[in-house]
Structure 1
């Protein structure tokens, strides 16, 4: 599991003083960087070296977040398949959950345009950050 602290910017909030939906997506993207480093430690974005493609993202807004307090993003792996995995993220502010994000990411060969099975060493690293997602009640 990874923890990332985000310092919200004034522009991350709308006229109702709530965190803008797109800002939350950007916070989650920022907090996925440690996952990306498992596959590409130097984050080389060249076509030949990047190994991941985003297949799906979804966001669930479960509470309000406001300008002021920092936001903690908790990131973990909630599913590992043959060539894909799900990253689940939670945004917390003042000990209250404000949003949940899920991203399905595929291990991908951009040159041959096909998914590729996760190598054993990568799978083991992902398993270190595995946590079953708690179901909201």
Structure 2
């Protein structure tokens, strides 16, 4: 698992006084940087080196986050497929899980414009950072039933 701390900026706060939902995609992307470095240690974005493309992101907002208290972003691998992998994210503030999410990245050939299999060497490195998947069946996001949300 990778972990970074983020200090909410004044501009991250919305009119209701809490961290705005538009901030989490940015924080979770920052949390993915150590995973990006597994593929390209110096973060070289040239098409001959960079082979990752984001195809899906999702978030479950469990509770509000506020200014003046750092947020810990935890990042880990939850699933490895043939050409894709899923990254789990969590945002913690004051010891409480506030937001969880996931992102699906595909190993992609930008010249051929198609996905390609993950190299075995990368698969092994990703396996070292695996954690259990978020269990979306434990709460119904559409109806909010069984949701731990305190908003």
Shorter-normalised TM-score: what interval? Answer: over 0.9
1:50-72 Cα offsets, whole Å, 9 max, x none, are: 11000111111011100011000
What is the alpha-carbon distance in structure 2 between the residues aligned to residue 77 and residue 87 of structure 1? 5
Residue in structure 1 matched with residue 17 of structure 2 by the alignment = 17
* 8 Å contact kept, 1:40–1:51: no
Residue in structure 1 matched with residue 89 of structure 2 by the alignment = 89
1:12-55 Cα offsets, whole Å, 9 max, x none, are: 11011111111111100111000111111110112222110001
Residue in structure 1 matched with residue 143 of structure 2 by the alignment = none
Whichever of the two has the greater Rg, that structure is: 2
What is the alpha-carbon distance in structure 2 between the residues aligned to residue 5 and residue 120 of structure 1? 31
CA-based RMSD of the aligned residues comes to: 1.1
Give me the TM-score of the superposition, normalised by structure 1. 0.96
Structure 2 residue ranges without an equivalent (≥5):
140-151
* 8 Å contact kept, 2:79–2:133: no
Post-superposition offset of 1:134: 4.6
Aligned residues: 137
Give me the TM-score of the superposition, normalised by structure 2. 0.87
Residue in structure 2 matched with residue 65 of structure 1 by the alignment = 65
